[in-house]
Amino acid sequence: MPKMRAVQVARPKAPLEIVERAIPEPPAGHVRIKVQACGICHSDTFTKDGTFPGIQHPRVPGHEVVGLIDAVGANVAPWARGQRVGVGWHGGQCGYCDSCRRGDFFACETATYVTGITSDGGYADYMIARAEAVARVPEQLSAVEAAPLMCAGVTTFNALRNSGARPGDLVAVLGLGGLGHLGVQFAARMGFRTVAIARGKDKESLARELGAWRYVDSRAGDPAAALRELGGARVVLATVTDGPAMTAVLGGLGVKGTFLVIGAAESLAASPFLLIAGCRAIKGWYSGTAIDSQEALAFSVLSGVRSMNEVFPLERAADAYERMLSGGARFRVVLTTGN
């Protein structure tokens, strides 16, 4: 039986270990992907630490997967061998529950399919994906370029395009890390007056390079006051995981502004008066489904948005994961298989 390499977590908090496994066969409704690249996302800690409700180990993490369709199960109409595809966090949906019938596939009530959590993900030579979770990858993007767009990219792209902001509106992106460096690029390319907010004067040149119209150093002064001086933000995209840092920017929302949270901070303090008086809102945004990913990739080709990546071979997945956890990576960490 042909074998492949896979990087698994044997039990919660166990180290990432490379093992040999049989290459899996795709069941009906599924495809097999020969993985070329897989990004490492902070949410892979759910798999590593076993903190996702109901997760079973051993489990192969990875939900920023790009590769080639290599085998197709029964009843899979749209996909064929050799197509370049990607898979993100959203691992599929039932199609018949009330949420699915409303088109809210992300909120499927029947089964939660999460790549690399409820099924094995992309830290491997091959993985199995549900057919509806697969996105087309345009040939203009390399596998390494496309992989981080399957989670970090689609999350920022989809949040911004659904934020209600219109071209010319003031949109602030809080944080310049893995999510933020993509958020600034998408916001600028979507035609927003894009304000990047981060800590330290030294990040300004990067923010400008990414397309920011203004840069606010949150160490040098009150970032909310800085946004108010610019007229108040229509949208703040909060990509950081630091609650107090979010709270410090809330007051920079303009009238009817939306504070859009995509960074999983523990908590966030808000003044009810601020919300009431200006009809302001705090809202979360999930990542996106396969078609959202496909559109994030297409927009990235169109507008030149690219993730900045540090690349590691699959064998060094444990080092790469530590690099992601350290917070020092500029800005996403991507595994390559050589396939």
> Other CB atoms closer than 10 Å to residue 38's CB: what's the count?
38
Of 195 and 262, nearer to Zn ion (C-beta) is 262
Report, in Å, the least distance between residue 117 CB and Zn ion: 10
- Rounded to an integer, what distance in angstroms lies between the CA atom of residue 64 and that of residue 39? 5
The single residue among 68, 97, 282, 308 that binds Zn ion, judged by CB under 5 A, is 97
The strand pairing partners of 33, in sequence order, are 69, 127
The single residue among 31, 37, 38, 43 that binds Zn ion, judged by CB under 5 A, is 43
Residue 25 buriedness (CB in 10 A; 0-12 / 13-18 / 19+): exposed
How many of the chain's residues bind Zn ion (CB under 5 A)? 9
Report, in Å, the least distance between residue 64 CB and Zn ion: 6
The single residue among 41, 190, 212, 226 that binds Zn ion, judged by CB under 5 A, is 41
The single residue among 23, 71, 100, 325 that binds Zn ion, judged by CB under 5 A, is 100
CA-based max dimension of the chain:
66
Q: Binding to Zn ion (CB under 5 A): which residues in 44-83?
A: none
Of 97 and 248, nearer to Zn ion (C-beta) is 97
Report, in Å, the least distance between residue 42 CB and Zn ion: 7
- Rounded to an integer, what distance in angstroms lies between the CA atom of residue 224 and that of residue 68? 46
Q: Binding to Zn ion (CB under 5 A): which residues in 150-209?
A: 151
Stretch that binds Zn ion, among 9-17, 110-118, 277-285, 290-298 (CB under 5 A): 110-118
Stretch that binds Zn ion, among 9-17, 36-44, 198-206, 322-330 (CB under 5 A): 36-44
Report, in Å, the least distance between residue 245 CB and Zn ion: 20
Report, in Å, the least distance between residue 224 CB and Zn ion: 28
CA 190, 192, 193, 194 torsion-angle sign = negative
Q: Binding to Zn ion (CB under 5 A): which residues in 219-248?
A: none
Residues contacting 247, CB < 8 A, separation 6+: 268, 269, 270
Of 69 and 154, nearer to Zn ion (C-beta) is 154
Name the 3-class secondary structure at 298.
Answer: helix
Helices (DSSP H) in the chain: which residue ranges?
45-49, 98-101, 143-146, 152-161, 180-189, 204-210, 223-229, 243-250, 272-278, 290-303, 317-326
Residues that bind Zn ion (CB under 5 A): 41, 43, 93-94, 97, 100, 108, 110, 151
